[in-house]
Structure formats: C-alpha cells, structure tokens
Structure 1
Amino acid sequence: MLHKPSRRTFLKSSALAGLVPAFGPASTLVDPSDADSATDTGLVFLFQGDSITDGNRGRSADPNHIMGHGYAFSIASRIGADFPDRDFVFYNRGISGNKLADLQKRWSTDTLDLKPDVLSILIGINDTAATIDKSAEASTLDQFETTYRNLLEESKRAYPGILFVLGVPFVYPVGKRQENWKQWRDDTAARQVVIRKLAADFDAVLVNYPAVLDKAISQKNAEYWLWDGIHPTVFAHELMAREWIRQVSHRLKFLRKYRPFD
C-alpha cells in the first residue's frame, strides 16, 4: 500500500518552501543535507482540466499512455524519473471539452476520491467558448467564480494540507480564433482575473501560462506554439511544464533541483 505523509508534514514542508528566494545559477541544486528536502514522500499529484490537460490520455491502467501527451506528462515524467525514491503518484483527469460545470459534476470521483496532495487545475477556455457560442451551458463570470471557489473550498475541507496550483487560461488569434477575436480575448481575460483572485484567496501557486507564451511568441510566430490559438504544440507544452515546475518549486523545496530552467 502506498505510504502517504501526514498532512501536517506536508503543510510544514510547503510553508518552509515558500521562503525560498529567487532561483539562483544553473549549478544550484537541492542540498542533500537539508533535512526538509526529504520530508515530501508519497505525494499524490493530480492534474485536472480540459483538453489541454487531457492530452489524449489513455483511459485504462496502461502506464505508457496514462498521463497523456502534454504538459502533465512532461511534469510527471521529469519528476518521477529524478525522484524515484519519493514514491510519488501522478494522475491525469483532464477531459477534452470540459467546462468548469463539467469538472464540478465529477469532482467527487475524479478529484476527492484520489486524495491529492498537489492539485493542479487548468480550466476556463471552454467556458469562454460556450459564452461566445451562446450555449445554454454558458456561465457568467459570477457563476464561474462561485463554482470554482466552491470546488477549492470542498477540497480544502477534505484535505487541509492540499497545495493548489492554478493555471491561467489563454487564447491567441490563430485560425478560427481570429473570428470573434475581441470576444475570445475579453472573456478569457475576465476569467483570468477571477483565477488570479482565487489563487490569492487560497494561497495557491499561480502559473501564468500567458506570460510564458507571450514571451515565446515574441521570438517565434504564434502558430509555432499554439496551432489553433488554444491548443499548444509539443513545444508549448514543454514551456508550460517548465513554468509549472518553476513556480511550484517555490513551495516544494525538492523541486529546486530544476532551477537551471531560469
């Protein structure tokens, strides 16, 4: 049976990790003599969201495909390979096409039942799409915030030591997204504001994917990174994985190993 750390241990480790200063030079790694660097063992990492997280993941126990083919896969493969002694467990429960309301319907079985220690969520772009399409399932910004907040509160009640990692959704004027571009841009931006607010309210790690993609697009055209303005290419998924690890390393000290990303 998988050994899981006490929630108190996880909270202590996360709190101390929050005091880590900005990333140093590429040679800086975790000091093996640091007692706190070995406290996080048996952690369960859960990635939730829509198609960007789904990554065409397998729906069976086949370990070759279970994490999909996106940023969640890159994060899990890297951490799992570098810390085999930590007995970490990784789940991907992203489902293509999901809106926040869809996530809510399956929250109990696909989130709470998995007992996550680190819960990473990237959701919102399909809510924007529903608004633009004038779908009956479209959510207002107030509904979006209330539902998202309720899910985080429910998770916090179940697992007080949980670490939330909230991803900021994104969209770019590529392909069909050029149609109704102002609506795509403005509605997504409004939901970004909501997620930033929730991240602050729940002391979550905020992963600002748009900032990373904006920088990448300044060096190479948007189509190289996002083939349809929403879905990342292999290259953009790698940038997302790097940014996820970079930001989470401020809270989980053992991830300081990856400071060379800066």
Structure 2
Amino acid sequence: MTITLRPGSTVMFTGDSITDGARLASEDGLGFGYPPRIADEWGRRHPDRPVTWLNTGIAGHRVSDLEARWQADVLDARADVVSVLVGVNDAGWQTTAPDGRPVPAAEFAAGYDRLLAPLAAAGTELILVEPFLLPVGGTFRAGHATVDDEVRKLWRADLDPKIEAVRELARTYGARLLAADAMFAELSTRTDPEQWSADGVHPTAAGHAALASAWLRLVR
C-alpha cells in the first residue's frame, strides 16, 4: 500500500549524512541528496498538490543521536509523513572512531523503536529506508581509520542484523519499507557499484537519484 500525499501535507526526512546532504548550505534546507530530488520530481508530477518538505538529517548521527534531538527536530514538527534513514554509523562507527563502541543489534532496534512509537501513536505515516553498504573496492580514509576490504567485511557483518531490525520494525508499525540495501545490491550486479557510491556508504548523484525514484514509488 502506498502513502497518499494530500495538498498541504508535510514530509520530514531525517537521519545521517546521506539524508543531510549539506542541507545547511542549500537555499531550501533540503541539501543536495535524495530529498530535493524527491521534492522536485513531486512538484513536477503534481503541481496541484503542493507539499512542505523538511530535512533534519545530521552527518555522523546514529540512532542514539536521533533520540537526543527527536522531540525538537522531528516530533514538534508534527509532519504527516516521516522518512528515516539511519544505521550505517551504528554499524561502522567502532572501526572509524577511537572512542566508538559496537552498537549491538538489539540496542539499535530498541532505540529505533523508541523513535517510531510516538510517531505511530500520533498517526504519522512512516517510511523506513534500509541502511546500506555497497560492495565497492579500494581503500580510503574515514574519520580516524583506514577503510579497506577487511573493514568493509566487518561493517557488512555488523550491518546485516540492523537491516533486518529495520525490516521488522517496518512490519511492526505498518511502515513503508524502502529496501535500499537490496536495491543497491541488485544495481551493483548490473554495473560497477562505484556508479552508485564511491565509498560504499555515500551515494553518488546516480545513487541519490535511485533512492529518490524508489521513495517516490511508495507515495501517490
């Protein structure tokens, strides 16, 4: 079932850097990633159904960071639809920051559940975007660590149960699930994964366009 966006609806995007997209440097506050692509395409398709689009993503944030600012940044906005993408920092942080620690899947799921519960109680429509990791190669710096194939294997092993937690929460709350990890895995079988993300985490322009297209299929 898709979500109906009625004239005057408010949609909130929130999460980590993938959603943030340097939003504070953008004129409309939506950044330069998938949220403005969604807003632009919606406006083109449905000029008779204006929607207010908001973005409160912050780079580097984990579920616990979202919890700390959830009331002010999300709940107080009383959006009709809230779209959440978070999780890759919960999976990879322990390998890229000296003060980081592993976030167990159960802790991640419990924190995420606490984010969703008040929204569901208020009747807010929910879109949950799977965190994802593309199978790119090569080595790069992330924070205080060097990320290579071995580190990415650790990330993948830690991320998989968190992806499953997001899927289970979507079932629990009747949320729409954007299966982004599965989508990018399938796209990476057709062309080089670097087409969609240079580092496996942050989408390229094509990756953001793919996310936007998949998101728009969840609404009408």
Q: 1:150 aligns with which of 104, 114, 117?
A: 114
Please tell me whether the aligned partners of residues 2 and 176 of structure 2 are also in contact (alpha carbons under 8 angstroms): no
How far off is 1:81 after superposition?
Answer: 3.2
AA paired with 2:197? L
CA distance in 2 between partners of 1:100 and 1:234 (Å)? 25
How far off is 1:194 after superposition?
Answer: 0.3
Alignment partner, residue 170 of structure 1: 132
1:47-196 equivalence runs, <5 A: 47-58=13-24, 62-63=27-28, 66-133=29-96, 135-136=99-100, 138-157=102-121, 159-160=122-123, 162-174=124-136, 175=138, 176-196=147-167
How far off is 1:169 after superposition?
Answer: 0.8
Confirm or deny that 1:232 pairs with 2:195: no
Please tell me whether the aligned partners of residues 134 and 184 of structure 2 are also in contact (alpha carbons under 8 angstroms): no
AA paired with 2:57? G
- 5+ residue gaps, structure 1: 1-17, 21-36, 250-254, 256-262
How many residues are paired up? 210
**Higher gyration radius (CA):** 1
Alignment partner of 1:180: what SS?
A: helix
Please tell me whether the aligned partners of residues 124 and 169 of structure 1 are also in contact (alpha carbons under 8 angstroms): yes
Alignment partner, residue 34 of structure 1: none
After superposition, the CA RMSD in angstroms is: 2.1
How far off is 1:128 after superposition?
Answer: 0.6
How far off is 1:195 after superposition?
Answer: 0.4
Please tell me whether the aligned partners of residues 177 and 184 of structure 1 are also in contact (alpha carbons under 8 angstroms): no
The TM-score normalised by the length of structure 2 is 0.88
CA distance in 1 between partners of 2:2 and 2:43 (Å)? 24
- 5+ residue gaps, structure 2: 139-146
How far off is 1:114 after superposition?
Answer: 1.0
